[in-house]
Structures are given as structure tokens and as C-alpha cells.
A and B are shown apart, each in its own frame.
Chain A
Amino acid sequence: MRPYNIFSEALRVAYGDLCFFRRNIIQIIISSLIGPLLYLIAFGYGMRSGSTGGADVSYISYIVPGIVAITTLTAGFASTSQKILIQRLFYTSFDELILSPMHTPSIILGKSIIGMLKGLVGSVAMLILGVALSDTLFITPSLIACIILASFTFSLMGVMAGLLANSSPTLTMLSSILITPMTFLCGTLFAVSALPELFAMIIWVLPLTHASELIRSTALGWSFPWWSLLTLLAYAAGFFLINCKLIKEKLY
């Protein structure tokens, strides 16, 4: 096979999505902030308290990184899964992509860029707000890197869902089964240790738990959770390989 530059090809694939992003950036930022702001108001200021797992920080400082993790999940997953489903089933522009001489890994990477970007933009906007509300939160390069990794992982999960779903209701069902439970249970709004042991074990397997751990640890200056980094990387690699198989063997 002819050698190729996967990053160059991925940017070519992503060009259309990036044009759309540039044209609609204000709406994208506003819409990606609505959900996180509601979580912040409802849990941070409405309920005011929750289990922080014994951490010596205010509840606001605890949940802002959790809400950022939720943002990476919702923005990453929703933007790629919906876009791919629409492009596949209604506009057939996904076929156009598959028919181009772009290589499969480049297509997957390219289609995940928009979700990664939306996750990053929404998360940074939320973090800026969080830093204004809490004096124990810090925006650091490692935090940004963790947000990018989390957004990328969930974008790849969105690509997979967009390829597997054969209708809009199926995608909604996938979202209800996967995304909604993760949003509330994966150590985002309260510590996983507050759950019964069996539940906690199940929750530890899910990727958002590790995204939440990574983002919270780097935002609050806690010791770096290497295990969570490895787990999230493994998820990203797994989703990537599954997507490659789905496209190469046209299993979608």
C-alpha cells in the first residue's frame, strides 16, 4: 500500500465539517454550554452538596471538572453520531467520502475531529466559568490534553454509533442506553465510591469514569491517574479499530 499521511488526509476529510463549524461557531458554543450550565446550576447551586469521595474541596470545585467530562462526552458523541447518521441515511454524503481515495483510518480520524473540537470548545468555555467560581481549579496544559483525549475517545464512540445505527430512533435508543446513565453515574456529579460496591465496579469499567478522573485530577492538581489514562487510551484504540472494521467490511 502507498504510504500516506494520516493527519493530512484526516484534515482533508474534516474540511467540510470545519467549514460548518466556522460558519456556526456562536450557535455551537451556546448550544454546547446549555446542558453543562444546567448541571452546574441544578447540582452546584440547587443541591449544593454531594459526595466528593472525601476530597478536601468545595462541591463546586468537585463538580466543575465532572461537568467538563460530561461536556466532552455529550459534545463528542452527539456531534459525530448524528452527523454520520444524517450523512449516511439522508444526504448520502458519507458514501461520497467512502468513494474518495482517502484511507479508512484517515476517514475515521477526520470524522472525529469535529466532535473533538466541539468537546474542546465547550469544555474550555465551561472551565473558564469554573475558574471564576472556584479558586482551586486551574487550567493547565495537561488538563487541556486530557480534555482532548476524552473528546477524541467519545467522538470515536460517536462515529461507531453513527455507523451502527440504522435509524434516528435507534441512535436515540443508543444514546439513552449509553450516554444518559454514564452522564449521571460515572463520578461526574458525585464520587463513584458513594455507590453500592457492585454498581461501583460496573461504573469503573465505563470510559466516562476515567475521563472524569483524569480531568478532575489535572484540574485540581491531584496525583495523576495513570491507570485512567491507559484505560481511556485503550477505549480510544478499541473504538478506532472497530470503526476501521465497520468501514472496511462495509458492516454499517
Chain B
Amino acid sequence: MPESLPQKPPKSQIRSDKAPAGDEASLNPNAGCGVAVPAGDDTIILAKDIVKSFGTNIAVDGLSLSIKRGEVYGFLGPNGAGKTTTVNILTTADLPDSAELYIDGVDALSNRVAARSDIGIVQQQNSLEKEISVRENIVHHGLMQNMSRKQIEARMEVLCERMQLTGRLDSLVRDLSGGWKRRVAIVCSLIHNPKILFLDEPATGLDTQSRNLLYSMVKAINAEGTTIFFTTHYIYEAEDLCHRIGIINEGKLVAEGTPDELQSMVPPSALVVTFEDGREEVSYHENHEAAQRAALEMEGATSIAVRQSNLEDVFLELTGRSL
């Protein structure tokens, strides 16, 4: 992680409704975040009690978030958990049924136009105009952010050099591969130098090389002070990149903390036992020796493995679902 990243919060900030009893704040994932006041200097996104339904389906159910300035926040959850709906509401693309939302102190629900100036978005699905060139796409995004042509040209030069796009500015977007298109999308989203960059499943569909480049770009952008909020269901992506991670399931924030803090919610050794009928059971132990001792007592097992527990295990423990 770059040196400029914020300090990790203390362990007491972990919030999970499956956390040990005795800490009331930790029992309610939304209890600790959010008084209904505009964001202070340290908080750049403050959302309280977001509710959004589609018909009878509640997509987001009373979710609250507080994102700190300069942090990389990973929003983790399985498909259909409510990630994209939450991002749509945080970016003001969609209206909640009820919520309070402040983007850098601006009430984003009553003043959406002002709030949008602080936001850059790379959507899950590529949203570039395919039939025009890379340069035209970037200029178009800059113009829509009320920038002058001179400002756009200057900023485009810097960003394209960093993303190694300079030689492809006059290519049509439709002729680019997925990885190149994602780079163009990132340049477009950064052209107005936003305070917050939202990345919705940014690595989806990318090969390993493009994915690694994306991760290094995210780190570099964050090192310049841009707050990054990204959704993913790639557990290792979140572990590697994020200062804090929020886990969403069925529209609710079920846990939040640094990767280490979340990791500490399950014992460090995982015993994975596969039985004759194909069933797989995972149990957690304080160390590998304890896991191995437990393995010896297993009957009917066809394979036994002891490994380090990871965030996926945390997710499984919290929600009963795998990512």
C-alpha cells in the first residue's frame, strides 16, 4: 500500500451482527455510523438508512455507510446482494425510497448536480461510445463535467500517458480489447479530477495482466488522494487493495472493518473435510495443530485439508453463502 494511505482504524470499529455478544454497537451493523449531519472533514461519503425496493423485493434494507477521505473501501457481496443498487444510490444514479446521503458535505439527494461534480464512475458494464474515438470519448466526458477544451487537453495528456493510452487516442473504441476499454473508462472517469472514484466490479472480464494493471492504477490514483469505493466479488482483490471492507448480504451491511479485522472474526486455521456423499464441511481452529487433531476424529471423510482461513470463510460464517 502507498505510504499516503490512512491509518487502519482500531479493531473496535469492526461492526458485525454476528460479532461476539456484549458489544451493542457491533451487533447492529448500522448503529455506529451515522448521525444525520453533513459529513465532516474526515468523512467524504455519509449515507444513512438507505432503503430501496423493486416491487416487493427489498434490494437495500436500511444500510448506512461512512467512507473516510482518502481510503479505499471495498464493498463485498455475492451477486444480487444489493451492491450495484447501493452504488447507484451513492452515485445519485438512482433514487432511494428513503435515505440521507451526503457527498463531501453536500446533500446529494436534494442537490444531485453539485454532488456529481465530486464523483467519477467506472461502471460494471463498459459505458463508452463505441463508434467514436478514444479521444472523442474522453473529450465528451470532460465537456459533460463543465471543463473547457484547454483543461480537458491538459488533463487528458497526463492521464493517457499514465495509462499508456497516448498512442491509441485516435482508435475507435469498438476496435479496442476489454482491457484497453477499461483503461479508457478510467481516464474518462478521472478527467475532471474527482474526489471519489466509484469502481463497480472493475476486474470483471479482464485477463490477469489487465487486472494487475488495473490494481496498480487503483493504488496510484488513491496515492494521489482520491477516495476509492469499489464493489467486487473477488475476495483477493478486496484483501489486497482495501483499507476497509464492508460486506453486504440481502441488502444489509453484515460486517465492516479492515481486512485484518474481518479476518480475525474467524479462527486462523480452516479444516476442510469432504465426505463420501460429496458434502463438504469447514470448521475453524486456533492453529493448524488443533485442526489436524480434529481431522483425525473425522469419520467417512474422503479428503481432508488444513489451510489458512480467509475472507471468504468470514463471509461464509456471516451469511451462510459463498461469494
Contacts and interface: CB of A to CB of B under 8 A. Distances in A.
Closest 8 A-B residue pairs measured CB to CB?
A: A100-B144, A12-B143, A16-B140, A93-B127, A19-B136, A92-B127, A19-B132, A101-B116
A15 B93 contact: no
Given A92-B123, A92-B127, 12 more contacts: A2-B114, A12-B143, A13-B144, A15-B136, A23-B131, A91-B127, A92-B125, A93-B128, A95-B123, A96-B123, A97-B144, A98-B93
A16 B95 contact: no
A91 B144 contact: no
Interface residues of A, number: 24
A20 to B, nearest CB: 5
Interface of B: 91-95, 113-114, 116-117, 119, 121, 123, 125-133, 136-137, 139-141, 143-146
Interface string A87-120: 0000111011111111100000000000000000
Interface in A106-141: none
A98 B145 CA distance: 11
Contact of B116 (A12, A91, A99): A99
A99 B146 contact: no
B127 A95 contact: yes
Contacts of B117: 101
Contacts of B129: 16, 19-20, 91, 93
B123 A20 contact: no
A99 B93 contact: yes
A92 B91 CA distance: 14
B137 A91 contact: no
A91 B126 contact: yes
Question: Main secondary structure on chain B at its contact with chain A?
Answer: loop
A91 B145 contact: no
A98 B88 CA distance: 11
B93 A20 contact: no
A16 B136 contact: yes
A123 B204 CA distance: 45
A19 B140 contact: yes
Residue from the set A96, A249, A250 with the largest chain B CB neighbour count within 10 Å: A96
B103 to A, nearest CB: 12
Residue from the set B126, B129, B131 with the largest chain A CB neighbour count within 10 Å: B129
B132 A20 contact: yes
Contacts of A13: 144
Contacts of B119: 99
A101 B93 contact: no
Contacts of A249: 95
A92 B114 CA distance: 22
B76 to A, nearest CB: 22
Contacts of A12: 143-144, 146
B131 A101 contact: no
Contact of A91 (B130, B133, B139, B140): B130
Contact of A15 (B92, B113, B139): B139
Given A16-B129, A93-B127, A250 B144 contact: no
Contacts of A250: 94-95
B127 A96 contact: yes
Contacts of A97: 144
A100 B121 CA distance: 10
Contacts of B127: 91-93, 95-96
Given A15-B139, A16-B132, A95 B114 contact: no
A1 B114 CA distance: 9
Contacts of B146: 12, 101
A101 B113 contact: yes
A200 B94 CA distance: 44
A19 B173 CA distance: 13
Contacts of B130: 91
A250 B54 CA distance: 13
Contacts of A95: 93, 123, 127
Residue from the set B91, B137, B139, B140 with the largest chain A CB neighbour count within 10 Å: B140
21 contacts: A1-B113, A12-B143, A15-B136, A15-B140, A16-B129, A16-B140, A19-B132, A20-B129, A23-B132, A91-B128, A92-B123, A92-B125, A95-B93, A99-B92, A99-B93, A99-B116, A99-B121, A100-B144, A100-B145, A102-B113, A249-B95
